[in-house]
Amino acid sequence: MNNTSNKSFADIKAEDKASLLVEVLPYIRLWSGKTIVVKYGGNAIGDELSLSRFAEDIVLMHSVGIKPVVVHGGGPQIGLLMKRLGKEPKFQDGLRVTDAETLDIARMVLMGNVNRKIVSTINIHGPLAVGLSGEDAGLILAAATNKELGFVGQVENVNPNILNRLLASDLIPVVATIGSDTQGQAYNINADSVASAIASALGASKLVFLTNIEGLRKDIDDPKSLISTLSACELQQLIENGSIVGGMIPKVQACLKALDGGVGQVHILDGTIPHSLLLELLTEIGIGTMITHAN
């Protein structure tokens, strides 16, 4: 399967097409009717071609009966606009310090730019996608992380009613990671945390993190040491022995929290690879890392 991932379907020999379809069919049957949350990271959101391929994957999933929910970030895009506006981004412990002006920029980028692009690209294939943020219909109740970070929030609660209503109407929710507190104050929230919380609230069968790395490695410096499958306990051990460091720690913590919240399986894979989502979900070997509750 991986050897043909860069070819068009028309380029594949007839016998290989048949083998491919036979391999895919059991996975379509397995996941049809199930909810799968896909976190589309800001680092994975590339050019128009990459976004188009992602949209094709989401639409194909929907077409075979899977219920996808897209949760997206936009950190690099926020930072780019801040610099264009002459505002220097500041970080503390890996989190963006967010004053009122930075919050306005984040809302502008996430809802006015990134969310619109994803929704409109999916909707090229039909009237399927609906864009919303955590502020809509009380989806994400947020609270401040700490005063030094300003309007950086954490998820207090997810009310999945609006998502369930959209899914019941055969639509694809596309969620930007802005939440609000009980007084209506908005907060920018880490997209990994939001995706984990939404997947748990929906009782999703899978949560998939699309990023710009191929998955987890036994040796962070050796690309050949990619881990195909591991358990939550084994993942915790990798954190403790130092195999997972830096910015990956919050992501794997979100993975573990999702599993604790009842999500069936969690995947980490490189969203910059064409159709990586389909390769991971609908083939036997996959191309990333799958984390399960146990061996």
Q: Which of 41, 75, 131, 179 is catalytic?
A: 75
Q: Which of 41, 42, 150, 286 is catalytic?
A: 42
Query: If DSSP states are collapsed to H, E and C, what string results for 152-181?
Result: EEEEEEECCHHHHHHHHCCCEEEEECEEEC
Told to judge if 75 belongs to the known catalytic residues of this protein, a careful annotator would answer yes
Q: How far apart are CA 251 and CA 95, in angstroms?
A: 13
Q: Which of 67, 74, 131, 192 is catalytic?
A: 192
Q: Which of 67, 117, 251, 257 is catalytic?
A: 251
> Using an 8 Å Cβ cutoff, are 45 and 77 in contact?
yes
Q: Which of 39, 67, 117, 206 is catalytic?
A: 39
Backbone angles phi, psi at 247, to 5 degrees: -70, -15
Told to judge if 150 belongs to the known catalytic residues of this protein, a careful annotator would answer no
Told to judge if 47 belongs to the known catalytic residues of this protein, a careful annotator would answer no
Helices (H), the chain: 14-31, 48-63, 75-84, 100-109, 115-122, 161-168, 191-202, 232-240, 248-260, 276-281
> Using an 8 Å Cβ cutoff, are 76 and 42 in contact?
yes
Sheet holding 172-176, edge to edge: 129-133, 172-176, 67-72, 35-40, 206-211, 265-270, 289-292, 229-231
Question: DSSP 3-state helix, strand, coil percentages of the chain (rounded to 5)?
Answer: 45, 25, 30
Q: How far apart are CA 239 and CA 253, in angstroms?
A: 9
Told to judge if 42 belongs to the known catalytic residues of this protein, a careful annotator would answer yes
- Three-class SS of residue 65? coil
Told to judge if 251 belongs to the known catalytic residues of this protein, a careful annotator would answer yes
CA diameter of the chain? 61
Q: What is the DSSP letter of 204?
A: -
* Residue positions annotated with a catalytic role: 39, 42, 75, 192, 251
